[in-house]
Every structure is written in C-alpha cells, then in structure tokens.
Structure 1
Amino acid sequence: MERRELLRHVGAAGAVGAASALLGPLPASAATPVATPFDLHFSVAHKFRPFDLVAPRFVQYDSAVDRPTSTLVTLVGTGARPRAPFASVLVEVVGVDGPGAVVAGLAGGGTSVLGVVDPAAGRASIEVTAGGATTVVASAPVQVRGAFRVGVVVNENAVTVLVDTTGTGTGWQPVVTARDAVRALVDLRVPAVLGALEYAYGGRGDGSVRLGRVRAGYFGQAGVRDPHVVQHADGRPFTRGGKLYLTMTNAGLGFFQQAHWAVWTLDLADPTKLEQVAVLFFERDGVVLGDHAGHIVYDDRTGRFILLMSSWGDFDFRGVHIRHATTTADVLRGVHVLRTERVPLPTAVSSWDPALTRIDGRWHLAFVESEAQQPAFVFHPALAVGPRGADYAESLELVGADRTVDQTEGTIIQRVGRDWYVFASDGDAREYPVYDLSMRKLGTLDAPYGTNIPHPVLLPVGREWWLLTFDGTQYAEPVLGYGGHGDFIVMRHRPQR
C-alpha cells in the first residue's frame, strides 16, 4: 500500500558528480543556465536503501569489547541504557542444544520487555514483566537451527523480534511484533520507566545456549523518508568537510509512531555514501517521542539551531501539529532529547512538513495544512510569513495556500536563479507543483515521480542541481504493516541539448 492510498482510506478503516563543496543558490548566469525551476530536467542517478537495526555510530554495548560471551542460562545486564525508546539488541547465536531459548531486550528493577526465540519449540514470543507478573503478549512460529541471529527492536512501545538465518547479518526478517499489548502493561516512553531499564540478553531453559557477539544501541532505520537539507537561515545548505547535512525520518518497524528523526551526512563526492551522525528525540507531555518530518536551520546571527518537527510521534488520527525548539548545542552529532513547544501557526487545522527560510529580513515558513484525518486525510501546501525583524515563530500570517489539491505535502523553500519558490509533492496528480511566494502555482518540475508522496528537495551542488527524495518501497509489510519505507533517491539535472 502506498501512503497516498493509506492516507485516503486508513481513517475509514480504523486505523551524483564529483563536487567537493556545496555552493549557495546559483545565479542565473551559471555555466549551465538555470533561470527558473522549469529549466531543470531531472533523472534518477542513484537509488538505494539504508537499513540498520543498530545505527553504526550509536552502538552502546558490544560484547566483543565489554564482555566475552559464551554459554548462558541467565539474563545478563549490560549497564547501558537508551535515552529514548528506540533501541535494539542483536545476538549472534552459535547454537542451542536441548530445551533452551535465546532472550534479549530491556530489563531492570523488576520490569522487562523481552523477545524470546525457542528453537526446540519453534516459537518466537514477546513477553512483558511488570508489577510482579509476566505476560506473553504475542507469539509466532519460527524455524531456526544451528547458528543464527536474533534481533529485538523497540520502537516507541512497539517490540519486534527478528531472526537472520543467513549468517551474514543482512537477512533480517521480522517474526512477531506487538505494540498495544505492550503499552497496556508498560509505557516505555515515560522517562522514569525507561531510565530503569538496561539492554539485556542471555539464555533460558535446561539446555545449552551458546552465544557469540552481542551488540546493543539505538535503532537505526528500516528505510528513510522526508529528507530536508539542514541550512543556514538565508537558505545556504549547511556543509562541513565536503559533506551535506540533512535530516530524514528513519522508518521504524511499523506505523508513524515507530519512526524517529535523525541527522545524516551525504558525501558530495559520492552521493551513495550516507552516514547517520545524530539522533533526535523530543520530550513533551511527560513522554519521550520520535517526532519527525521537520527542518533544522542554523541562525548565524544568534548562533543557535532552530528545529521544527511534526508531531507524528504520538499520532492517533486526532490531529498533527508543528512543534519547535532552539538550542546552541550541536544537534548535528550525538544523541539529543529536546523539549519542544507548539508553533503558533496561522491555521486552525492540522499541520506538518515545516520548511523555514529568512528571505529579505522576513521569516518564511511553508507547511502543510490538513483539515481532516478521518474518515480520510485531506492536506495541501501553505505559506506563512512574519514581519520584518520578528523571530521565526512570531506574528506569522498566512499569505497563501493551494486548496485546489488535497493530497499534497513535502513543502520545500528554495531559490532557483534570482527568485524564491515553494515546492511540494502532489500524490494525486503525481507531480511536483511549483509556487511563488504568494502560493500562486506556476507549473511543475520536470522530474520522475515515484511511489508514495516523494518530497522534492532541490539543491545546487557546485554547478549542478540535485533533487533528493524517497519512495514508498516497504519493508516486511505483511508482518509489520504500513510504515517501513522507503528507498533514498538522488536525481540530477540533465541539461537538454
């Protein structure tokens, strides 16, 4: 199922060149003349799938370093803890002899959320211990023998057990997952609850459970979506050492609440090299969430990062809104948990996909308005502008919206040639509409339109133009349902001759 189709119906159902540096917006007199967006002609140059159950830079425990692993019949605590409920434990199993099971997950203080794989019984299960009682909340058949791998992933309150029988660590397949049944017993989003839990693993039963390497850390992604270039306030892309910084929604193993936000770098000399360098979580209403689909702007005048994000982290079909935070901390590296507030947008309906730029001394904030999420989603692009001299979230006024469309999102503000434009993505028409700063539609981009509702992230790279986006390619949808997408796509402008 594509997102356009899902957003229409789920409510009713109940549920690129060897450039070594990135320049600012190119003038119309560049070597390849580009005066307007309609001079650009894109084709796909690269398409690939980032996939990591543990983000490579965010491993918190590795038994190869921290503790040798051998035969186990008990649960081993690691002493390492995640700051947000987006975490994984990956266990290499050398073998299980007799009636034994492999166990992994989070545990501490009499509470635990564990995945269990029992080869002899041919079952994988998820069990929650809380208040002195242990409950098996879900189970499913599994066939493993000899050497294999077990992964237990926590995304918000969703817990998923995966196995890899290839012996390579590249064949992960989910076996069983549960969210609502877990949440009924324990809420991992609550800091006091999560703070008492550590990564844990081990063996169980009367047999011999022989383990190899164990790694644990922050969950990576099953795919990526919603790319947005980190930029300076004036629209210049943010780069360090020949690498472009961008944010993306890291797809989780399930629906929107299971996703989270991360910062990545894209090597401008080789755009197939993506690396996750920061993980961002947000505390609000007493819980820590993976709000995502946002924008980061560095304001050189104040030395602060401005972060805007959409409140998908607790989405329950009762509205979405844009939130914000500012910080002088370097959010482009490491793990951050930030407190946020709601942006006072000039709209009485839901909103998401913010894009922020200061143009001629005035902050411009493009976003998506959505007057309905049930029985079907209805959404369109809009633009708000603040008065000269005001801060980015002060006295914003709506200057325009395209209410002729109802499946259009992915708002991006970008200058091409001498003028600024708002770009978006129309899932019904399968095209990328282009607007001026009064939200008057001028035309559409000449670029391939794939599955889902791909966001058109335009940026100049040296003397080239690229378009970064994603598609709706799912991961293990029969087990996990909708949400585990998509592939990362890099397009390049091909001048017509």
Structure 2
Amino acid sequence: MTSRRLRAPFRLTFHEVARHRPVDLLSPFVQHDRTEGLDLPPGSLARFGPGPRAPFCAVVVDVAEVGRDGGVRCGLAGTGGVLATYRAARQEITLEVDGPAGAVVVGAAPAEVAAPFRLACVVNENQVSVLVAEGAGEGWRPYLSVRDRVADLTDLRDPAVLGSLEYGCGGVDAGAVISRVRAGYSGAIGLRDPQVVRRPDGSPVLRDGRLFVTATNAGHGFFQQAHWGVWALDVADPSARPVHVATLFSERDGLLLGDHAGALVLDEEADRWLVLVSSWGDHSQERGVHVRHATVRGTDLLNGVHVLRTDRLELPTTASAWDPSVARVRGRWYLAFTECTSFGPPRYVFHPALATTAGAEPTAGLERVGADAALQQAEGTILQRFGRVWYLLASDRDAAEYPVYDLGVGRVGALRAPYGSNIPHPMVLATGRRPRRRWWLVSFDGTPWHEEVFGYGTHGDLLVMAGRPPAWRETLRAVVRALAGRVPGGVRRRVRGLRPGRPGRPGTGRPGTLLCPRTSAPVRAAVRDQEEQA
C-alpha cells in the first residue's frame, strides 16, 4: 500500500517549460511551388495540376507588383471550385464559387493592400477563408471566411467534386506581377488534444531522439474545420519548435473529413498501427460524436499525408463519445473515452468513462468498467502507467483540476499541474530509464487566433511541462503520513510530536528527526521505491 501511494501520479509536481504556437496556412506538405512561368496574360488562370486528397488546403500567391487597375486570384479551379480575388481598382477582396449556374460571389470585403503582399485562399472542409500578409511576411490578416453560402453551392468533402479540381492562380483586369505560387495541404493555426504515439504497453515511440504526438490541427472555424496531425518534439530540448511530420484524414460515409482527437498505437508484434479517432469532422448537436477505428499495415503513419478509411467503434454506451485512449494491461485491453450525455442547452455535459475486453483486439467485445458521471465538463481521457500501476487521467473544467482514477474508475487524487484556459488535456509520459527518467506533461490552452473572424475553434497553444518528483523532505513527510496508521502506538506518538523541517539526522530517534529505529527500515524501502520511480 505504501509503495503504491508513493508511486501515484499526484506525487509529481509539473511546471511549464515551453509553449508553442504554430500558425501555418500551409503545412510542410506542399504539392506545388513555382517561381517561373508566372508571366500570365491578364484575365488568364493557370492550373498547376491535381488538388488535395482532402478538402484542407491553401494556395499562397506572392504578388510583387499590381497596378491601379490590376488584380490577382487564386484557389481551386473547376466546377464546384472556389477562388479568392483581389482587385486594386475596387480595393476589394471577393470569394466566389463556380456553382452549377456559373460563378457566384459568396463574400466580399474592403481591402487596402499595397504590393508587395501575399494573398492566400485557405480551404478547411467547406469553409473558405481569404487572408493577406504584407511584404513577404507571415503576419496574416483574415478578410473573409465563408461556409454556409459555399456549402449551398458545392460540397468540397465529396470525393467526386474535390477530385475534379486543380490548384490555380492568375491575374484579373490589368493583371499583376506574381513572383511565387505555393499550393498544398493546409497547416495548423493552433494545436490541441495531444496524445503521445505509443505502443500497447504505454511506452512512447521515439525516433532519433524525437517524441511523436498526435494533435488536433486547429482550423479556420469550428471543429469541422480542424483536422488531425502528427508532430515531432525534441525530448532533449522541449523549447524547440514542434515539427509537423504527418497529416491523417478520414474517408467515411462517402465524405472526406478531418476527424481528430484520437490515439495512434504502434503494435510492433502484430506489425500494425491501431488508429482510434473521434468523428468531429461532421459534428452537429443532432449528429453527435462517436469513436472510429482502423488497422493500418505497410504504411508509416509518422510521415506524409494519409487518408484513412475507418469504421464505427461499438462502445458500451448509448451516448456520444470522443477522446479515446487505449492500452494493454496484464493481458487485457483497456479503452478510455469521454462520454457525452447532452449537447445542451445550456452547455455540453460530458465525463470520463472506461471499457475493457479480454479479447485479442482492443475494439471487439468491450465491456463497461465505469464512469465518473458526477462530473459535467471533464474530458481528455488518458491511460498512463506510473511504475507498474496504470491510472486513468482526465481534465475537469468546473473544478480546474486533473482528476486521477484507478482502473476501476475510483477517484484516487489529482495531478499537481497548472490548469489554464479551456479544458487542457493531461498527456503525461515518461522518457528515459532510471535513474535518468524524466516526466513530462503535454497539454494546451484556449488561446484563440482571430476569433473575431473565425469564431470558436481556433484555440491551442501547445504546452510542455516538466515533472518534478518530491524533494527529500517531502518524500519523508509523505512516508510518515503513509505509515502513521501502521506502526505501534508509541512510535505514532513520537512521529506526531515531530516538527517537520527541523534539522535532525534520520534514523537516530533524536528530537527533530523524521525517522525512528522501529520504522526506519520500511521508510527507507519506501523512499528507495520513490527515488526509483522518479
């Protein structure tokens, strides 16, 4: 009992050591990058080849010069496509859809822009945004972001529609001098819902000193505009900027979607990837959310762009569910998830839950273990091992803390970690081996990006926290408390009479010491366990 208490996750104290906020309209997965052949006749539209495999992309045009009567446009060309246009004479930016009856302007905004500048057309699901950056910088300012009117005229999630479109750009009216065009998959304007890429036993997947984390790539709108990415972190230098190494899209129900908030498990014994993801890609309050799964072989999901076909996971619940986390514990699979019993009004109501199966597959024959239904806004369910003991971690917004449960979903404590805005997830992990093992907590906060234009859903500073084990004195005090009820009465009286923090030599029995001859052996064993765990 003493050893288990000392190994509990709430013995660690976490503090922030790094904070990251990538704001990338384009991901590293650029499909076209041209600096030549851009001397286009006014009014022409050059096409650069096939568009993206999922409706999450961006076209960025560097405009070197534009006359008083000139202009430029860019986007996805073809029937059902979308084009952003800047006209200098009107000092206006417009967004149009090539609908069944021809081009239809679905949005317009005044814009005083002086060359050189960059014009970007960004597609996130059916939401299309137009942004401008002065010079050659990345200080993007959004001018337009339209979804409903776009969706009335086209559905970019439809593989038949998207597959017929091409990246394009060109001059309008008197034209413009274009120095560069880039087109490819869109990036993230924030990161949230991190989960470490792990093996079934909970150990993190490391390559060349890099730790891999799946994260929700915040998009230009609500949850449907986000998508799922894989990021690499340098465990030796958590202050180093995360690197976007992979993007994972979903194909289901006849649509191409950005499902996100899930877990990626490398099962090397079975030579496969286990993929669990939440169906946020087409979420509505009426449709709800559920967990989906896939098994992938012969592909490295930590590199490149992937479109995954997934199936609905049969969980032991009739409610909506998200944030899956899976681990194999003593021959059984455990699957944690967040269970949502109401989408309001006035607010979503959700809490942590746990299921298990003795089968060979983590997705078959799941039986309910339990849930903490007393909580109303608790998510971010994570299964994590501390020493030899597994725990279920979660995040409770109402209490502003990270509750910790055993595998019977019994509350055993809470993490000692800063709790910021939104509902930060407690992705705790250990790297290295004793005695150089280091504990980390990867999370996020609610910092938005141009929320005045895009609304809720752009949030996500990625936070890295380091875990500190208890100091020597803290450990001894914890040991005394743990043993106080299990030692002879005379010893208990002497322990109660001690004043913590007063100098003394452990094991001497003198006033002011924290140990006595009759308890020193178990105390020393417990301290040793704690030091090994840390």
Alignment TM-score, normalising by the size of structure 1 = 0.90
Match of 1:484 among 435, 458, 468: 458
Per the alignment, residue 254 of structure 1 pairs with 221
Match of 1:428 among 373, 388, 398: 398
Match of 2:7 among 31, 35, 40: 35
**SS of aligned partner of 2:449:** coil
Distance 1:47 1:335 in 2: 26
Alignment TM-score, normalising by the size of structure 2 = 0.84
Distance 2:40 2:309 in 1: 43
Amino acid at match of 2:307: V
Larger radius of gyration: 2
- In the TM superposition, residue 143 of structure 1 has moved relative to its aligned partner by 1.4
- In the TM superposition, residue 101 of structure 1 has moved relative to its aligned partner by 1.8
Matched, 1:164 2:133: yes
Answer whether contact 1:50 1:222 (CA < 8 A) is retained. Answer: yes
Matched, 1:441 2:411: yes
Answer whether contact 1:72 1:209 (CA < 8 A) is retained. Answer: no
Answer whether contact 2:431 2:438 (CA < 8 A) is retained. Answer: yes
**SS of aligned partner of 1:79:** strand
Per the alignment, residue 186 of structure 1 pairs with 154
Matched, 1:240 2:207: yes
Distance 1:474 1:154 in 2: 19
Match of 1:280 among 244, 248, 263: 248
Superposed CA offset, 1:400-434 (max 9, x none): 10011010000000011221000000011110000
**SS of aligned partner of 1:351:** strand
Per the alignment, residue 3 of structure 1 pairs with none
- In the TM superposition, residue 132 of structure 1 has moved relative to its aligned partner by 3.8
- In the TM superposition, residue 494 of structure 1 has moved relative to its aligned partner by 2.6
Distance 1:361 1:416 in 2: 18
For residues 72 and 373 of structure 1, do their structure 2 counterparts lie closer, same or farther at Cα, with a shift above 3 Å needed?
Answer: farther
Distance 1:38 1:133 in 2: 62
Superposed CA offset, 1:6-38 (max 9, x none): xxxxxxxxxxxxxxxxxxxxxx89xxx972212
**SS of aligned partner of 1:248:** strand
Work out the percentage of aligned pairs sharing the same amino acid: 52
Per the alignment, residue 446 of structure 2 pairs with 472
Answer whether contact 1:227 1:469 (CA < 8 A) is retained. Answer: yes
Higher helix share: 2
Distance 2:300 2:360 in 1: 24
Alignment of 1:194-343 (within 5 A): 194-205=162-173, 207-271=174-238, 272-318=240-286, 319-328=288-297, 329-343=299-313
Superposed CA offset, 1:86-142 (max 9, x none): 00000111121132221010012x442111112321211110012241110111111
Superposed CA offset, 1:269-293 (max 9, x none): 2222311111111111111000000
Distance 2:6 2:52 in 1: 47
Distance 1:406 1:36 in 2: 25
**SS of aligned partner of 1:428:** coil
Distance 2:360 2:178 in 1: 59
Match of 2:21 among 46, 49, 70: 49
Match of 1:353 among 298, 304, 323: 323
Distance 2:120 2:14 in 1: 39
Distance 2:108 2:441 in 1: 43
Alignment of 1:132-151 (within 5 A): 132-151=101-120
Superposed CA offset, 1:205-256 (max 9, x none): 1x23111111111000111000000111111111111111110000001110
Unmatched segments (≥5 aa) in structure 2: 472-534
Answer whether contact 2:57 2:122 (CA < 8 A) is retained. Answer: yes
Residues 298-307 or 71-80, more deviating: 71-80
Distance 1:68 1:49 in 2: 35
**SS of aligned partner of 2:95:** strand
- In the TM superposition, residue 496 of structure 1 has moved relative to its aligned partner by 4.1
Distance 2:231 2:48 in 1: 28
Distance 1:394 1:301 in 2: 19
Cα RMSD of the aligned pairs, angstroms, is 1.5
Answer whether contact 1:434 1:441 (CA < 8 A) is retained. Answer: yes
Answer whether contact 1:88 1:217 (CA < 8 A) is retained. Answer: yes
Per the alignment, residue 349 of structure 2 pairs with 378
Superposed CA offset, 1:313-365 (max 9, x none): 00111211000111112211111111111101000010000000011111100
- In the TM superposition, residue 72 of structure 1 has moved relative to its aligned partner by 4.5
Answer whether contact 2:116 2:136 (CA < 8 A) is retained. Answer: no
Answer whether contact 2:77 2:165 (CA < 8 A) is retained. Answer: yes
Distance 1:72 1:240 in 2: 49
Answer whether contact 1:34 1:40 (CA < 8 A) is retained. Answer: no
Distance 1:253 1:34 in 2: 45
**SS of aligned partner of 2:392:** strand
Per the alignment, residue 175 of structure 1 pairs with 143
Distance 2:161 2:6 in 1: 55
Answer whether contact 1:98 1:208 (CA < 8 A) is retained. Answer: no
**SS of aligned partner of 2:160:** helix
Per the alignment, residue 398 of structure 1 pairs with 368
Distance 1:72 1:279 in 2: 36
Per the alignment, residue 58 of structure 2 pairs with 88
Distance 1:480 1:350 in 2: 26
Per the alignment, residue 120 of structure 1 pairs with 89
- In the TM superposition, residue 182 of structure 1 has moved relative to its aligned partner by 0.4
**SS of aligned partner of 1:38:** helix
Distance 1:282 1:232 in 2: 22
Answer whether contact 1:137 1:182 (CA < 8 A) is retained. Answer: yes
Per the alignment, residue 407 of structure 1 pairs with 377
Answer whether contact 1:471 1:487 (CA < 8 A) is retained. Answer: yes
Per the alignment, residue 363 of structure 1 pairs with 333
Amino acid at match of 1:112: G
**SS of aligned partner of 1:145:** coil
Distance 1:446 1:307 in 2: 30
Distance 1:480 1:171 in 2: 16
For residues 473 and 147 of structure 1, do their structure 2 counterparts lie closer, same or farther at Cα, with a shift above 3 Å needed?
Answer: same
